[in-house]
Amino acid sequence: MSYLKNDRYLRALQCLPVDYTPVWMMRQAGRYLPEYRKLRLKAGNFMTLCQTPELACEATLQPLKRFDLDAAIIFSDILTIPDAMGLGLHFEAGEGPKFVKPILSNIDIEQLPIPDPEQSLKYVMDAIRLTKKELAGKIPLIGFSGSPWTLATYMLEGGSSKAFTKIKKMMYCDPKALHLLLNKLSTCIALYLNAQIQAGAQSIMIFDTWGGVLSHQCYQEFSLYYMQMILSQLTRGVKSPDVTSYVPITLFTKGGGLWLDHIMQTGCDAIGVDWTVDLSKIKHKGQVAVQGNLDPSILYAGKSIIESNVDTVLTEFGGYNGHIFNLGHGIHQDTPVEHVQYLIDAVHQQSKRYHYD
Amino acid sequence: MSYLKNDRYLRALQCLPVDYTPVWMMRQAGRYLPEYRKLRLKAGNFMTLCQTPELACEATLQPLKRFDLDAAIIFSDILTIPDAMGLGLHFEAGEGPKFVKPILSNIDIEQLPIPDPEQSLKYVMDAIRLTKKELAGKIPLIGFSGSPWTLATYMLEGGSSKAFTKIKKMMYCDPKALHLLLNKLSTCIALYLNAQIQAGAQSIMIFDTWGGVLSHQCYQEFSLYYMQMILSQLTRGVKSPDVTSYVPITLFTKGGGLWLDHIMQTGCDAIGVDWTVDLSKIKHKGQVAVQGNLDPSILYAGKSIIESNVDTVLTEFGGYNGHIFNLGHGIHQDTPVEHVQYLIDAVHQQSKRYHYD
């Protein structure tokens, strides 16, 4: 009923029956692949790789040439939005992301522009359009963004953080200023994700990488609230026998295992979960889809260990519809490439018994 | 019925009624205090401060001179055990802990000695004996250790870590080797904690700072199992009308909010919880004591914000016995000292309404 050759991923996101559990991996286009490292070297720096649609497209497609993955995710970075807002993103060798102009004052927040995604982020849309063409309906393409809270951590701390001192100071001492920033980010992200959908993204994932550092009250007020605001603004289309007529949204808060019930109530289609969560204990299985949740470190181990851990995850989820197999976080850059093949084979082969023939 | 002038902390740990909620803070003796920074400078380096009983005693007592705290915790470091095992702990200015000889092979694990705590760790016992004398029954003294899993992370990674690559590789690829290490550490820790009890520690806390990075299965196998093994070996004494005849044990896994039921089933007396946990949802309140759980970043904010957040925590725990007020992690070093006073006053004053007159 759909023009997609492999629509397992989209079907699973809608909790529809599938023949086996679809699988993809966060950061599947990345440094563990020798061909990616070559491409990265060719690009010169990471931002050029992101900002050149042909290169971003190539990076997106690389893992698909090796592995029988059930979804592609556009190669990009969660920090493209703050960069487009004028903060000046750059990556130095061996270090995490840094901003030339981090937010230092409330005036900085007030003055932040709302970028037009088809202007300053056009390179992402072009990469999506190009990749979509290249994929030629083989598998669906995922678009994504960081959550408002997660982007705000980088924008205030100036880069990666351990203690999140600056943003937490603002949260407790001047919550209005932080709410203004999160509001602006939500507007930007909604525009950005709608542009991605318009450009051809068939599913959207929102990465709330740092929501888990919040208290249970603050998580709802400063992270989940804004993700829900974005959700309500996305043009998801309508469900129909053609699964591609609807764009399902996945919310993933790393370390958010205690709050899954709340996340599910936002109206998202799927939740991402990390490896701290026992999938057998998740409520509403078969109603909201679940993506996860293997510890990426398991890929350091050999075939039989990978297989038995895949078996555990599949058994925990049992025979419900609506499971997308994934890692609980991005794949480590020192993962042996052949181990990824073991994982994908194991998921496809072992999951058949939970699904229709 | 006890010789302690203030036994609220020990009573709360036994879920007995108290007149107000006892409060202490993780890392209450530390860098946020100007007198600590002076003492640290005098000692020359951190290890000298730990290893000189008079200085460790002075550091322990410093916060008590300022604040009406309901418990003291001996000034020391969780990495004294690996240091006594020969790994050579040192701290460089502005950096975290480092080991001169981290564990590099299975032979290193096999050759690790089990230190006699009254020999190579005698300085800790001497500090406890001295501090106990100085406290003169004013408030109880807490002894502590890191959990086997947490110590093992530092011993294998060589210091602090973000991705825990080495220990996770071992866990998935050579679990037997890791189990040997954790077994040895459990033996050392049980000996160490019993020596602390013998020296006068009136309550014990086990810090499982990094248990939260594990999957739910691995947490049980590689962290909780060994904490339970230690628990079964500790000489806790017997409960009697004199609360000091019993040494209650608190287990604290940071990021362990999903596993509180399992932690409670170990036979510990109390669980520590971080700020991701909603205390109103904790089961078995009044049976196993609960310590926590304010985000230490709240102490950046002013008096009224601190007071309202204290109120929230107290309200969440409601009128149950068995609550020890604490932060959900160590106090930040840039915390304004006067804000600590606001916190302690707020706990003592606001909690009265939940307790007997």
CA dihedral A127, A133, A136, A139 (to 10 degrees): 20
Domain assignment of residue A2, yes or no:
no
* B37 included as an active-site residue: no
Same domain? B306 vs B350: yes
Total residues belonging to chain A: 357
Domain assignment of residue B231, yes or no:
no
Q: What pLDDT is recorded for position A1?
A: 43
Beta carbons of B276 and A212 less than 8 Å apart: yes
Domain assignment of residue B187, yes or no:
yes
> What does the alpha-carbon distance between residue B178 and residue B169 come to, in Å, rounded to a whole number?
10
Set B11, B27, B192, B208: catalytic member: B27
B271, containing H or E segment: strand B270-272
How close is the nearest chain B Cα to the Cα of A311, in Å?
Answer: 13
Domain assignment of residue A274, yes or no:
yes
> What does the alpha-carbon distance between residue A172 and residue A191 come to, in Å, rounded to a whole number?
29
Rounded to the nearest integer, the mean pLDDT of chain B is: 96
Asked if A306 and A344 touch (Cβ cutoff 8 Å), the reply is no
Which CA distances in Å does B6 have to A80, B21, B68, B352? 56, 12, 10, 16
CATH code, domain carrying B198: 3.20.20.210
Reported as a single tens digit per residue, the pLDDT across A283-325 is 888 899 999 999 999 999 999 999 999 999 999 998 899 999 9
> What does the alpha-carbon distance between residue B85 and residue B318 come to, in Å, rounded to a whole number?
44
Reported as a single tens digit per residue, the pLDDT across B6-58 is 999 999 999 999 999 999 999 999 999 999 999 999 999 999 999 999 999 99
Cβ burial B96-115 (10 Å sphere, 16+ → b, else e): ebbbeebbeeeebbeebeeb
Which CA distances in Å does A102 have to A26, A179, B104? 27, 17, 40
Beta carbons of B171 and A275 less than 8 Å apart: no
- B347, pLDDT greater than 90: yes
Same domain? B141 vs B272: no
Per DSSP bridges, beta strands B72-73 and A72-73 are unpaired
Give me the helices (H) in A52-120, please.
53-66, 80-82, 106-111
Secondary structure class of B196 (helix, strand, coil): helix
SS (H, E, C) B45-81: CHHHHHHCHHHHHHHHHHHHHHCCCCCEECCCCCCHH
Same domain? B88 vs B183: yes
Q: Which two tokens stand for residue B339?
A: 């804000």
Largest Cα separation within chain A, whole Å, is 60
Please state the domain count of chain B. Answer: 2
Cα distance from N-terminal residue to C-terminal residue, chain B = 18
Q: What pLDDT is recorded for position A357?
A: 59
ipTM above threshold 0.90: yes
CB proximity list for B94: less than 8 A, separation 6 or greater = none
Q: Which of B225, B256, B291 is the last residue of a domain?
A: B225
> What does the alpha-carbon distance between residue B255 and residue B328 come to, in Å, rounded to a whole number?
10
User: What is the domain extent for residue A86?
Assistant: 8-354
Which residue positions in chain A have pLDDT lower than 70? 1-2, 357
Reported as a single tens digit per residue, the pLDDT across B145-158 is 999 999 999 999 99
Average pLDDT over residues B103-127: 97
pLDDT tier, B285 (very low <50, low <70, confident <90, very high otherwise): confident
> Cα A301 vs. chain centroid, distance in angstroms?
25
Asked if A6 and A344 touch (Cβ cutoff 8 Å), the reply is no
Domain assignment of residue A98, yes or no:
yes
* B66 included as an active-site residue: no
Which CA distances in Å does B151 have to B95, B156, B189, B208, B223? 18, 9, 10, 9, 11
Q: Which of B219, B276, B334 sits opposite A215 (nearest CB)?
A: B276
- Measured between beta carbons, the chain B residues lying within 8 angstroms of A297 are 164-165, 168-169, 171-172
How close is the nearest chain A Cα to the Cα of B257, in Å?
Answer: 7
- Measured between beta carbons, the chain B residues lying within 8 angstroms of A31 are none
Can you say whether the dihedral through the CA atoms of A14, A15, A20, A24 is positive or negative?
A: positive
Domain assignment of residue B230, yes or no:
no
Among A177, A218, A179, A225, which residue's Cα sits nearest to residue B298? A218
How close is the nearest chain B Cα to the Cα of A171, in Å?
Answer: 9
Q: Which of B193, B225, B257 is the last residue of a domain?
A: B225
CB proximity list for A94: less than 8 A, separation 6 or greater = none
Reported as a single tens digit per residue, the pLDDT across B227-269 is 999 999 999 999 999 999 999 999 999 999 999 999 999 999 9
Q: What pLDDT is recorded for position A258?
A: 97
Closest CA in chain B for residue A169: B300
pLDDT tier, B1 (very low <50, low <70, confident <90, very high otherwise): very low
- B167, pLDDT greater than 70: yes
A327, containing H or E segment: strand A323-327
Secondary structure class of B102 (helix, strand, coil): coil
Q: Which two tokens stand for residue B140?
A: 């109880």
Q: Which of B225, B254, B281 is the last residue of a domain?
A: B225
Cβ burial A110-137 (10 Å sphere, 16+ → b, else e): eebeebebeebbbbbbbbbbbbbeebee
Which CA distances in Å does A12 have to A20, A307, A311? 10, 22, 18
Question: Concatenated DSSP letters for A167-227?
Answer: HHHHHHH-HHHHHHHHHHHHHHHHHHHHHHHHHT-SEEEEEETTGGGS-HHHIIIIIIHHH
Asked if A69 and A348 touch (Cβ cutoff 8 Å), the reply is no
Closest CA in chain B for residue A296: B168
Q: What pLDDT is recorded for position B2?
A: 54
